[in-house]
Amino acid sequence: MQDTAAARGLARCHCCGRVNPDQLSRCQRCRAKIHSRIPNSFERTLALTLAAAIMFIPANMLPIMTVSYFGKGAPDTILSGVILLLQHGAWPIAGIVFFASFIVPLGKILGLLYLLYKVRGQGSSDAHYQQLRVYRVIDFFGRWSMLDVFVVALLVALVQLGQIATIEAGSGATAFAAMVVLTMFAAGSFDPRLLWDRPDRKQ
């Protein structure tokens, strides 16, 4: 049996940090509810991640913005917008948009699915530390995944030039924002301590 707080019948209060016996329902210091693991962490994370994976499709298939010059323009998806930026020589901006709008969300979804699989799967103790690195990377890069929506919002607010040029956010921006919010909640609901609770690690 592993020498962990849960194995010793202890639980840390998430509010004040006091260690309490896990049979108590509330912290002895601050009276906050006590739980050794985030309740229903696996089920919540799985549901939110699958919902984010579904939203990933319209977020990349639907136009995220439409730029019109003198009343004429065409809608652009994330990838077509990246290609357009590359054609105009804006390599740094294209790289940032592609990384923040495509690589990061896709990486978060795949990373969360990988961690959920490992919670129910088998593996060595050494692999556990690699899985924790995956979780930390997801948590770190997740804060940058709203960058593209932020750029679109700034363009819509600031680059309104009357009849010369107008920029309108498309339905893809809504789907993209929903996907990002879902991945944020999914990452927040995942309890990495579940990786320690696997049957093959309780020996």
Provide the domain count of the chain. 2
Residue-level pLDDT at 53:
96
Write out the H or E segment, with its range, that includes residue 192: none
Rg (CA), the chain: 22
Using alpha carbons, select from 12, 50, 9, 91 the residue that is nearest to residue 179.
Answer: 50
- The answer for residues whose C-beta is within 8 angstroms of residue 68's C-beta and 6 or more apart is 165, 166, 167, 168
122 pLDDT band (50/70/90 cuts)? low
55, two tokens: 């939203």
Residue-level pLDDT at 202:
46
Upper half-sphere CA count for residue 168 (Cβ side, 13 Å)? 12
Asked if residue 16 and residue 77 are part of one domain, the reply reads no
Using alpha carbons, select from 185, 200, 151, 201 the residue that is nearest to residue 48.
Answer: 185
Q: What is the mean pLDDT of residues 123-143?
A: 75
Q: Report the alpha-carbon distance of residue 135 to residue 177 in Å, rounded.
A: 21
Angstrom distances, CA of residue 14 to CA of 54, 124, 142, 185, 200? 32, 29, 22, 18, 27
- Judge whether residue 72 has pLDDT over 60: yes
Asked if residue 181 and residue 136 are part of one domain, the reply reads yes
- Judge whether residue 23 has pLDDT over 60: yes
Asked if residue 142 and residue 57 are part of one domain, the reply reads yes
Facing residues of 165 across strands?
69
Asked if residue 165 and residue 130 are part of one domain, the reply reads yes
* Least confidently predicted of 17-31, 94-108, 126-140, 163-177: 163-177
Asked if residue 149 and residue 96 are part of one domain, the reply reads yes
Asked if residue 170 and residue 73 are part of one domain, the reply reads yes
Asked if residue 153 and residue 118 are part of one domain, the reply reads yes
Asked if residue 90 and residue 19 are part of one domain, the reply reads no
Asked if residue 94 and residue 24 are part of one domain, the reply reads no
Write out the residue range of the structural domain in which residue 8 sits. 1-36
- Judge whether residue 18 has pLDDT over 60: yes
- Judge whether residue 159 has pLDDT over 70: no
- Sign of the Cα torsion 185, 189, 191, 195 reads negative
Asked if residue 58 and residue 1 are part of one domain, the reply reads no
Q: Which amino acid is at 30?
A: C
Asked if residue 110 and residue 90 are part of one domain, the reply reads yes
- Judge whether residue 109 has pLDDT over 90: yes
Q: Which amino acid is at 99?
A: F
Q: What is the mean pLDDT of residues 171-186?
A: 88
Segment of 23-32, 96-105, 111-120, 144-153 carrying the highest mean pLDDT: 111-120
Q: Give the mean pLDDT of the chain.
A: 77
Of 77 and 201, which is predicted with more confidence?
77
Asked if residue 55 and residue 148 are part of one domain, the reply reads yes
